[in-house]
Each structure stands twice: as C-alpha cells, then as structure tokens.
Structure 1
Amino acid sequence: MDKFADMTMFVSIVKHKGLAAAGRELGLSPATVTSRLKALEQRYGVKLLNRSTRHLSLTDSGALYYQSSLEIINNVNEAESLLQSGLNEVKGTLKIAAPSDIGRQAILPILTSFCQQYPNVIPHLYLNDTLTNITESGVDIVIRYGELADSSLISRRLASSQRVLCASPEYLRKHGIPTTPSELTDHHCLALFRSHEELTRWHFRQGDAHQSVAVQPRRFSDDGEVIRRWALDGYGIALKSLLDVQQDINSDKLQVVLSDYRVNFTASNSASSSDLNVVYVSRQYQPKRIRLFLDFLLSEFETPSW
C-alpha cells in the first residue's frame, strides 16, 4: 500500500478533472486508475468523488483528502529540494488569486518585491473577480473582498474597506448628482457580473433603514478594473470597493455620490462585509515560500506603499 502514490494519483485526477487524463500523466491505464480509486475509497470508507460520464466533482471528504494530499506532496517536494541543494533555499511555485483591480494596484507590486528577494519562487498570479474555490483550484492563497463562508478555511483581514458609488466629475456635470438611491434608475450605471450573475440589485443602509434598488446598467463586465476604467472615462456610476478607487478619489478623477448611505452588492449588515481578506487552508503544513509570502503580504498592508 503506497499512500503517497495514491495521494499523487488523486491530486492528478482533480487537477485534470478526469481519470483517463490522470492516467496519461502518471503512465497508468484508465482501468488501473479506476481500480486504485475504488480501493482508496474502500480503505477509508468514504466517497471521494462524484462521477458521471461528463462530470467529476469532489465530495466534502474528497475536498479534505485533496487539500491534505496537496499539502503533503508540496512538503515532500520541498524537502527533496532542500536535501538535493543542501541549502535552506526558498523555491517553488506560488499560486495566488486576487480581484482584478486591487490585484494590479497592490498585489502585483507586492508579489514583484517578494520575488526579487526570493528569485527561485515562481509566481502564478490569477486576476479575476470570480470567487475562487481554493480547495479545488490548487491555488495557495486567495485574496478577496467580503466575509468567509467556508469555516474550514483561514481568513485574515488585510485592510478595512467599504463599498462606494462613484463617477467622474464629467459624468456628474452632464447627468446630475443623485441625491437618493431611487434616482439611480435614471442614471447610467456600470454593473459587474460574477459567475454568470448580473449584480444589478444594489443595497443601501442608512442607520437601521435598508432599501434596495434594481439599477438598469448601460454596461456590464466581469472585470472590476474595466468597471473602474469606464467610470474614469465618464460612462456612468460604479459600485466599487473604496480600496480600488481611493487614489482616483484623492486625485479628483472620481467623485463619491450618496455618501450618506452604506452601499453593497448584498443586504449584509456586517461592518466587515467589504473588507479585503487573505484566505488560505492552513499554516501548519505549508511550504516555507507560502508562509514567508503570507507574512510579507500582511506586513506590506500594514504600511502600504502602492
């Protein structure tokens, strides 16, 4: 019984989203992969994968086994690297997913600085505004706005923030400044869509009062930086994280509207629902490069220079 080989096989199955593809990577026949996967599930008495002719997905037990296997494989690879080099060298891949806008403005320069200190670290930076499933994606670190739904993950706040409505001074001169949320229905709004969902219902709180407005956007994008660029170019009003647009506001390129209201994409009343967080699985068995980057990232956000 080679548990490490089983872990390697299972990680390959998840990575390639198929048993046949995993077999090709490992030099195993599809029948062998299927047989070993069945034996693995029988050994632990749990189902690890939901399988159909066209789709494969992790069960809760499978997600736990996958993440644990991935950590063990990474640690073994790092241990072998240290033994082979004879040095306590920081090297290997570092996979990070971040929202597009703050990713370019803040995470990219921080990652660049980190890799200058550790040139043998190979960064993978994924910039998108889709909520990344860290368990299934193989990403080491996810940076995201909002509260954490999965209690099995660790989340640490990088920066406090809030969401604001903003537009260029040119747009506001042409179309006027809204004074109530309901007036947004008469304005050109710029909307984000995420996971095929159009975020067109914006929520407003003022004290204990809550209301929502279904805006009629003139432009949509799944990229937060595109929304920001459209706002800067005078195409409408955007709902953005303050962290994304703070520099634009400071330089008078964008102007906040309806500042008396707390605005969000959801009806959440939590003060932390718009904060920027770093999310990861566990520090206990992380490769050194990941632990070092987390410490570096948290330190950089204490005294931001971007």
Structure 2
Amino acid sequence: MQFENLSDLRVLVETARGGSLTAAARALGVTPAAASAMLKRLEAQLQVRLFERSTRAMRLTPQGQTLLDYATRALELIDEGASQASAAVGALRGGIRLAVSSDLGRSVLLPWLDDFLAQHPGVQIALSASDQVLDVRRDAVDLALRYGAAELRDSQLVARPLCTTRRVACAAPAYLQRRGTPTHPRELAQHNCIALQIGGRREQRWSFERAGEQLDVPISGDRSADDGAVAREWAMAGAGIVYKSRLDVHAALQRGQLVALLPDWAGQPYTLYATLPSNRFVPARVHALVEHLVARFAAWPEAKPAAT
C-alpha cells in the first residue's frame, strides 16, 4: 500500500503525542480542520479507525498503535536521511531529545553538552532535567540518562553503562558546626536527614558497607524532595544531611559547600546508564552524543568505568 501523503502520517504521530487534533495542528502548523481532514483521509485509505474519539481525549485503537509504531520509525528515518543529505559531508544535523535527572543535569552535564553543541553546530538539544522518570518510547525521548537498571526490564529498551558511582552522606559546614559530625552510620538517627522521594515514596533507610559489613540505618527529618537538586540546595543551606550520588555533589564538595561524612563507610553503589529505544532507528547524532558522554565520564576521576 502506498500512502498518498506523508503529512497524514505526521498527523497520526502528533495526535498520539499531544492527545488531540488541536495539539497536532499546532505542532504541524496547520488548522485543526486540516488536521482532522488528514486523519480522516488516512483512516479511509486504510479502512480502519485509528483513534477512539471522545469529548475529552483521543485514544489510539490497537490498529492505530500498530501503525503509530511503524510510522514513527519511518518518519524518523526520512527526517534523518533528509538532514544528512542536505548537510556537509560528515556533519551532524537535527534535534536530540535528552532526559536526565535533575541534579546530574545541573551539576555535571551542562558544560559537556555545551562542548558537544560547539563541536556539532547543526545539532539542537531539547533537555528535560527532572527526577520524574520519562517513558523513553511513549514520551518520544531519544536518549535518557538514569541511575539504576529499573528501566531495563522493558525488552524494547537498550542501555549502555556510562560509569559507576556511590552515594555519599554529606552536609554543610554550618550544619556540622551546629549539630556535630556523625562518625558512625547509626548516629544518623540523631540528625536531620533530607530524604529523597523515589517513585512517589519517601525513602526511610540509607545503606552503607565497610569491609564486607552491610548496614541499613533508619533516617528521619523535617523535609524531603522529589527533586535531587532541591535536596542538595537544602543541604548546602545547612538544613540537614543529604545522601546523594557523588557525581551530583562533586562540585559542592570541591567548593567546600558540603563535607563528605563517614569516610570509613562506602555508600550505596549506582550505575549510570544511557538508555535508548531499541525499536527505533537511532540517528548518528544520538550515537555521537552517547560516545561524547562515555569519553567525558571515562576521563573524570569521580566516575569509575562501568562493566559492559
């Protein structure tokens, strides 16, 4: 079957992405009436209903979901081919939708992304810096950097380990001067601990190890946050002790805004992954950004190479 107009497929993709024909029309620069006509034309050509329509939203039918998966990949291939064909030989062009955790983006990645864009002036990066985990496929993300392997349970995702690191308990000098410095993890029970909210739940315990000894200690405090950067800012302001990836607090430790605690104890280990959708064509510009990040982490003393 030959499609009469590729714009009809783009309406399908943008309607699914935005949840309405109005959103699709806005993304494509056409009127809602034109977008509606394009979608009806596509359904008539296929002789199937692609969306269930209601006054509140449009939901994909099973047939619509099937076509969406293939249309997304096909349009990405076409866009990638067009950008490469019109570019200078070897140049990278086009956009990269990148999702990173809040503190990692602010504390580590921003200058590295600046360097990448300076090397590849034809590339644009749309950055989502948030601790709310995006769905790589549903939210149309090209690349996501996340700690841990929870996302890898999805067989349609692939991930490349970038580095390993550990969490570290740390606090501002002003807090330690006021409340004292803990010398053993169990002493954290007497301190104001700034908890992270992970998956909508406030963490209750922090884990440490020393010479094969594993220790989980309960924590409590007057504040928690679902944004790692907020937790770090509170700690730097002297509000309490925070337990975060050493990557996230590296700069604050170097500047003396935070002090690493419990040096005889190792914090919880983490692996940082670059996660990509395996069922989509991955453009050369995305591969190039992954390689750029791999090289930067490999050269950084705070990050240890991850097992592949």
Give the alignment's TM-score, normalised by structure 1: 0.78
Write the distance in 2 (CA, Å) between the matches of 1:286 and 1:217.
44
Aligned position for 1:104 = 106
Contact 1:63 1:136 in 2 (8 A): no
- Structure 1 window deviating more from structure 2 (19-28 vs 122-131): it is 19-28
The more displaced of 117-126 and 179-188 is: 179-188
Q: Deviations over 1:148-177 (max 9, x none)?
A: 332321111111111122112321232123
Distance 2:47 2:190 in 1: 58
Structure 2 residue corresponding to 1:135, chosen from 134, 137, 161: 137
Matched to 2:16, the amino acid is: V
Distance in 2 separating the partners of 1:10 and 1:261: 54
In the TM superposition, residue 286 of structure 1 has moved relative to its aligned partner by: 1.9
- CA distances 1:55-93 after superposition (whole Å, capped 9, x unpaired): 566799977764553333122123223444575542111
Contact 2:108 2:247 in 1 (8 A): no
Distance in 2 (CA, whole Å) between partners of 1:125 and 1:178 is 38
- Between the aligned partners of 1:84 and 1:170, the Cα distance in structure 2 is 57
1:294 is aligned to 2:295? no
Which is worse superposed, 199-208 or 142-151? 199-208
Gaps of 5+ in 1: 265-270
Which residue, 245, 252, 256 being the options, matches 1:248?
Answer: 252
Instruction: Report SS of the residue matched to 2:78.
Output: helix
Secondary structure in 2 aligned to 1:125? strand
Root-mean-square deviation (Å): 3.6
2:207 is aligned to: 204
User: Which residue of 1 is the match for residue 192 of structure 2?
Assistant: 188
Q: Secondary structure at the match of 1:135?
A: coil
Identity between Structure 1 and Structure 2 (%): 30
Distance across 2 between alignment mates of 1:13 and 1:286: 22
Q: Sort the Cα spacing of 1:178 and 1:11 in 2 relative to 1 into closer, same or farther, 3 A.
A: same
Partner of 1:267: none
- 1:33 corresponds in structure 2 to 39
2: CA distance, partners of 1:305 / 1:260: 19
Residue number in structure 2 paired with 1:119: 121
Residue 241 (structure 1) shift: 0.5
Is there any run of 5+ residues in structure 2 with no aligned partner, and where? 303-308
| 1:268 counterpart residue number | none
What is the distance in 2 between the residues matched to 1:94 and 1:37? 31
Q: Give yes or no for the alignment of 1:303 onto 2:306.
A: no
How many residue pairs get aligned? The number is 292
Q: Distance in 1 between matches of 2:299 and 2:247?
A: 14
Say which is worse superposed, 81-90 or 14-23, in terms of deviation. Answer: 81-90
Q: Aligned to 2:169, what secondary structure does the other structure show?
A: strand
* Rounded Cα–Cα distance in structure 2 between residues aligned with 1:61 and 1:168: 56
Q: Secondary structure at the match of 1:230?
A: helix
Secondary structure in 1 aligned to 2:138?
helix
The 1-side partners of 2:233 and 2:188 are apart by: 20
Letter in 1 for 2:39: V
Is 1:217 the counterpart of 2:217? The answer is no
CA distance in 1, matches of 2:193, 2:226: 14
CA shift in 2, pair 1:33/1:161, >3 Å: same
Matches within 5 A, 1:84-103: 84=86, 87-103=89-105
2:236 is equivalent to residue 235 of structure 1: no
Distance 1:284 1:136 in 2: 12
Listed one character per residue, the Cα deviations across residues 104-139 of structure 1 (whole Å, up to 9, x for unaligned) are 232211111111111121111121111111111122
In the alignment, the residues of structure 1 paired with residue 11 and residue 207 of structure 2 have an alpha-carbon distance, to the nearest angstrom, of 49
Q: 1:283 to 1:168 in 2, by over 3 A?
A: same
Pair 1:149–1:210, CA change in 2 (3 A): farther
User: The residue matched to 2:165 in structure 1 has which SS?
Assistant: coil
Q: Which residue of 1 aligns with 2:278?
A: 282
Question: C-alpha separation between the residues in 2 aligned to 1:246 and 1:137?
Answer: 30
Q: Is the 8 A contact 2:11 2:38 kept in 1?
A: no
What's the TM-score once normalised by structure 2's chain length?
A: 0.77
Amino acid at match of 2:195: A
Q: Quick one: distance in 1 between partners of 2:59 and 2:263?
A: 44
